[in-house]
Structure 1
Amino acid sequence: MTPLLRVISTCMRRRATCSCRDRMEAVVNEWLWQDRYWLPPGMHWEDMEVMEGQGKGPYPLPRDLIYTLPVAFAFIAFRYVFERVIAVPLSKRLGVKDRIRIQAAPLPKLETFYKQKSRQPTQSEVASLGKQCGLSQAKIQTWFRHRRNQDRPSNTKKFCEASWRFVFYLAAFTAGLASLLDSPWFWDYRECWQGFPKQPVTDAHYWYYILELGFYLSLLLCVSVDVKRKSAKMFHYAGWTRTCDSLFVVFALVFLVTRLVVFPCRVIHTTLVVSLEFFQPFFGYFFFNSLLLVLQALHIFWAYLILRMVYKFAFMGKVERDERSDEESEADEDEQPEEECDESSWEQRKGSINSKLASLANNCVLNNLTNQRNLNSRLPKAR
């Protein structure tokens, strides 16, 4: 192929790619990002594209959201490296210990049932599996209990996830605060709506939102494997009880002030009331304010749970668990300790206990008979 033909072919491919991308963008804009949904009346996405083309500054456009997908995969890769290079050694240094769990015996039929049907079989299913495997129902239930405990995440895994979120949230909070301190709308919330939505975005704020969206998209992609623990749980897994209690007090104060005072009085009031001074209500106005009101309802519910925890902390001296989330462990570990023995050892222990009880009963009977004889022998003398 001659150089001229190669150049023409390359240009044609690029033109076809751009044309395909433009068509896809047009379809998405037509069905999802319609102007009447997300912009005030009389505003169009094309207006901001024209202003951006004139060099007046970058403007937020729907196509910018596509950048969050590669950012999400980058976060997943970075998290993988962080947990193994930093979080795991840190957990060992802080003294995080994992429970020693009994490994379930390799039984293919039970393993297939566990993975394909249910992790907690009913009584009839236990009886059926016992007949198929030639095991008693007690052994079947013990196997499933061990198998569930085997899949439960270790304290090290929980610590690694909590430390990853702690590092990101700390960095995001610091960067966000630093980028907002010199912004006029940080001090005067009416400035948020001046010229809305034709507002240029600085590079710092642009990448702040892209990184935040990418991070939460990475959490969404990993939701099936995450153990979903709070960042303050790091000290709980390390056994730092006093540090946990102190952080809980600080957390409770910050949460109650920011979620019950600052958020409704500053944020929701701005988006729900003040914004109407600058534009007429549209779909996006009702949609996003509805989400904010739902979030505020959740804040009130969480505040109720936190106040319950504060009450227990004040009268019991410690916080038993975080009532805003699920139990730290399933019922299996509460009902049966990890060091439980198999059925044969239990039968041995039961036999030993029964023999001791029988011996104790015999001793009691003998003592009663001896006392009765002594009493009878003393009665004539008394007369």
Structure 2
Amino acid sequence: MKQALKLILSTLFGACIGFGAVVLCITFFTETTLSEFFGNMGNIQLSRLLLSCILSLTCLILAVFVQIILHEGGHLIFGLATGYRFVSFRVGSLTLIKEKGKFRFKRFSISGTGGQCLLSPPDKPYEQLPYFWYNAGGVLMNLLTAILALVLWVAYPEIPLPLHLFLLFSFICGFFLALMNGIPLKMSGITNDAYNLILMHRDLNTRKYLALQLAVNAEVQKGVRLKDMPDEWFPNDEVTDYRNIMQVAVKLLYISRYVDRKEFETAHVLFSEIERHKEEIVGLYVKEIECELLFLELIGERRKEEIERLYTDKIKRYIQRYKIMMSSKQRLLCALALYWENQPERAKEIYEKVARKRDKYLLQGEVNSDLDIMETMLREAQIQA
């Protein structure tokens, strides 16, 4: 019921915004006042109104899509200009990567983000990491293209209506995105570009955390497992601020190495320790921590009350949402089928499906690790049977 109500309210809200945009466009381009428009609504043909709605909404959607691409393109251009190297470029869930010298598309998404440009850091000490232009590039690109769209919109009023509308919406969307990322904000616990810049300006360690995350991500996409990366990349630093998303991210990478090494008891202790601070941690990371704790409980003590505590409806939905893009969720489903649902054949099917589709996953190092762990689980289950 709650989800249905949320869907209805969001749909109505979107419809109101769309109708408002259409009314403003019609009154502006036809030199009709708002009072005249509403007074003569009965004389307006329904087909004309629908056509205006479709045209305006199409231009708006296209402008949003283009501005998202431009935002991530800004990160890419300014990052490459300051020594970073290309890793991946994502809009929505469509992700462009360079694999074995060739570009190809894969699917991946992160809740709370419309896109993401990931680069590997230049080979410099983190104290000298050129962080400003890489982080500010998206805002600058949105702002520059918004101004350009406004100039063209004003300078060429006689161009075709669809293009005129597109330029207007490009200005509005570009300016809005520039504000949303240029004013320091946390949205659902996720920090925007301006917030990250402030963190890195104030704290040298935050620059180190950014460099580590980018370096690890680049290697994971190449197929390198966490356990095979240099030890010095994973300092066991104490988390002093659990609201600092970068500190927590590096800590989670450090703990995840123990899972990859199959040192499950140590991983369970460390994940349990960080879970105690879940009220301070961004929601996305809390779900990841709970998924890993659920997995570790399934292959460990298998306490019924603990599994039921962790395996909530919220976590079930999270698993279903990301199971196609993240092999770690398939590893969890394999453990659930094997140890909770007592369906060894189902567990084997999950493993075989991941093995067949391994090349489609973005995080190749993660899928290599998860397949290895699932193989161990199935082999030990067969021995015990």
Answer whether TM exceeds 0.5 for this pair.
Answer: no
Q: Larger RCO: Structure 1 or Structure 2 (Cα < 8 Å, ≥ 6 residues apart)?
A: 1
Give the structure with higher Rg (CA).
1
Which has more strand, going by share of residues?
Answer: 2
Which has more helix, going by share of residues?
Answer: 1
- What TM-score do the two structures reach when normalised by structure 2? 0.24
